[in-house]
Amino acid sequence: MSTSTALATVGGTRTDAMAINGSEEQYVTFTVGSEEYGVNILSVREIRGWTPESRLPNLPDYVRGVINLRGIIIPIFDLRARFGGGATDVTKRHVVVVIQVGERTRGILVDAISDILAIGHDSIKPPPDVDSGMVDAEYLSGLYTAENRMVTLLSVERLFATDNGDVDGLHKAPPALEKAN
């Protein structure tokens, strides 16, 4: 459990340097392969080192499995596999970003944390008009340029489709406790 890193210490040095005003929001960015992604810091609960998961049967490969997060069981999604890059070959250096989506807590497996950026609303560019068959643009909330790097900002709500709490692209689970009328 020592692999858990409190987020405050990651962001501590930078928040001093950067004035946070109303039009800016902070994003945690991380890398998957050569690409850099960002999620709103408010949805990030913690960042932890990779711990072996327990597999779940009969699910797409981007559902890595589940881990024990201090007594609660959270699913881990492999972002590389989610974007069609195949399952990540995990090492101890891989990182899980624990994200709060509504009532649910979920982990996404990424290669490494790279930065915490304060991004103004104005500097977020809309995603280009890509062919919907090529990129599932649903979960992209915008693009940001940081020192020549392009950061793809993700909408966690849409990344894990909110409807019924099911994962985007997964078949719908039977509603667990429908009201029997």
Partner 1 sequence: MEDLSRFKQTYFDESAELLAVAESGLLRLTPGEVDSDEVNAIFRAVHSIKGGGGAFGFTELVAFAHEFETVMDGVRNSAIPVTTELVDTLIRANDVLGQMLAYAREGEAAPPGTTDDTVAALRRHLSGEAKPVHAGPAHAEPAAAKAPEPVAAAPAAYPDDEDDEAGIFGDAMALIEAARAYENPVPEGKIRWTVTFRPKADLLMSGNEPTFMLRALRRLGEAQIDCSVENLPTLQNLEAELLFLSWTVTLIADPDVDLEKINDVFEFVADECDIKITAEAPPPAVVEAPIAESEPAPVATEPVPVAAAPVAPPKAPEAAKPRANAGGGGEHAGLTSHTIRVDLDKIDRLVNMVGEMVITQAMIAEHVRELPQGEFQELLEGLEQLAQHTRELRESVMSIRAQPVSSVFSRMPRLVRECAAATAKEVQLVTSGETTEVDKTVVENLVDPLTHMIRNSIDHGLEGPDERERVGKPRAGTVHLSAQHRSGRIVIEITDDGRGINRPKVLSKAIEKGLVQPGASLSDEEIDNLIFLPGFSTADQVSNLSGRGVGMDVVRRNITSLGGRIGVYSTPGEGSRFVLSLPLTLAVLDGMVISVGEERFVLPLTNIVESLRPKPADLHGLVGKCDVMMARGEYVRLVYLHQLFGIPKAVTDPTRALVVLVETEDGSRLGLVVDEVLGQQQVVIKSLEANFRRLDGVAAATILGDGRVALILDVAGLREMSRHHESGTTRAVAALPAPELEPV
Q: Which residues bind partner 1 (CB under 8 A)?
A: 1, 52-59, 65-68, 71-75, 103-106, 164-167, 170-181
Residue 70 CB, nearest approach to partner 1 (Å)? 9
- Rounded Cα gap, residues 103 and 75, in angstroms: 14
Q: Which is nearer to partner 1, 112 or 170 (CB)?
A: 170
Please give the structure tokens belonging to residue 177: 């406790």
CB of 161 to partner 1, least distance (A): 11
d(CA 167, CA 170): 5
Q: Which C-beta is closer to partner 1: that of 142 or that of 165?
A: 165
Shortest distance (Å) from residue 87 CB to partner 1: 13
* Choice between 16 and 103, CB closer to partner 1: 103
Distances from the Cα of 158 to the Cα of 25, 79, 88, 101, 154, angstroms: 18, 14, 22, 9, 8
Dihedral of CA atoms 179, 66, 95, 153 in degrees, nearest 10, equals: -30
Smaller CB separation from partner 1, 8 or 176 = 176
- Identity of the residue, 63 or 153, whose beta carbon is nearer to partner 1 in the bound complex: 63
| Angular region, 155: left φ>0, alpha ψ -120 to 50, beta rest | beta
Contact 64, 78 (CB under 8 A): yes
Cβ 142 to partner 1 shortest distance, Å: 27
CB of 54 to partner 1, least distance (A): 4
Closer residue to partner 1 (CB): 22 or 175: 175
For residue 167, the minimal CB distance to partner 1 (Å) is 8
Helix (H, G, I), strand (E, B) or coil at 132: coil
Long-range contacts of 159-163 (CB under 8 A, 24+ apart): 159/82, 159/108, 160/77, 160/101, 160/104, 160/106, 162/101, 162/102
